Amino acid sequence: MRNIKLTIRYDGTSYSGWQFQKNSSRTIQAVIERAIKKITGEKSHLTGSGRTDAGVHAMAQVANFRTRSSIPLKNIHMALNSLLPEDIVIYRVEEAKAGFDAQRDAKSKIYRYTIMNADFMDPFLRLYAAKIFYTMDIGRMRQAAKWLIGRHDFRAFQATDGAEKNSVRTVRKIDIKKEGDLIYINIEADGFLYNMARNIVGTLVEVGRGKFSVESVKDILRARDRRRCGPTMPAKGLCLIKVKY
């Protein structure tokens, strides 16, 4: 039995997220699994490094599936891309060790949130960035982000309709930079709760525009109350950049 590792890039605009859903055939996982079945003749389960929500993008999602097929990797790679829609591309295909699991073996993930900080949205970025017209203080945002580094209970930053019993995660790094009208917020963590990245960004935006104090982030963490943090930012601005193993 072979274990095939895929690195996948996709535009999540038209999809209901990564994970297969009974009420929607339009998920990244479902579309790729159908293509795999056409190539190998087998029904394979595609295990992703983690779920991305509806509208969220990926530069390097990692997934694996098992197959008895002896088709060469190059042929699998070419066949998959010929069958997949243009907004999903298999960037790399590799043979993985028998025990490799894209989800369980992931050490950390890096998500990037992109903000267009201007009065008008660039039409070429409208599907990949959120627009904020307020003047943003990047220095305040960086100061506030420091309170989130380390191992904490991030219950306040998870969606109330997707609560997990264990809400403790380790945030390893948050980088915030501004290039022209664009603000990039990179967050690396050992795992993300439902909407955690988008809620962290929403809170940092409130700090940047002066609505929240820098120290309020510390208080929000301690309170573990979703109602106290910033708004959930739009999904379109979020992209999975890298999975570390």
Catalytically annotated residue among 11, 53, 175, 190: 53
Q: What is the pLDDT of residues 9-41, one digit of tens each?
A: 999 999 999 987 777 668 999 999 999 999 999
CA distances from 182 to 9, 133, 177, 205, 238 (A): 22, 11, 8, 13, 14
CA distance 45 to 34: 10
Looking at the structure, give the CATH architecture of the domain made up of residues 108-244: 2-Layer Sandwich (3.30)
Q: What is the pLDDT of residues 38-96, one digit of tens each?
A: 999 999 999 999 989 999 999 999 999 999 999 999 999 999 999 999 999 999 999 99
Domain span(s) for CATH 3.30.70.580 in the chain = 2-95
CATH number of 2-95: 3.30.70.580
Domain span(s) for CATH 3.30.70.660 in the chain = 108-244
Beta strand residue intervals within 154-224, DSSP E: 168-179, 182-189
Catalytic annotation present for 53: yes
pTM score, two decimals?
Answer: 0.94
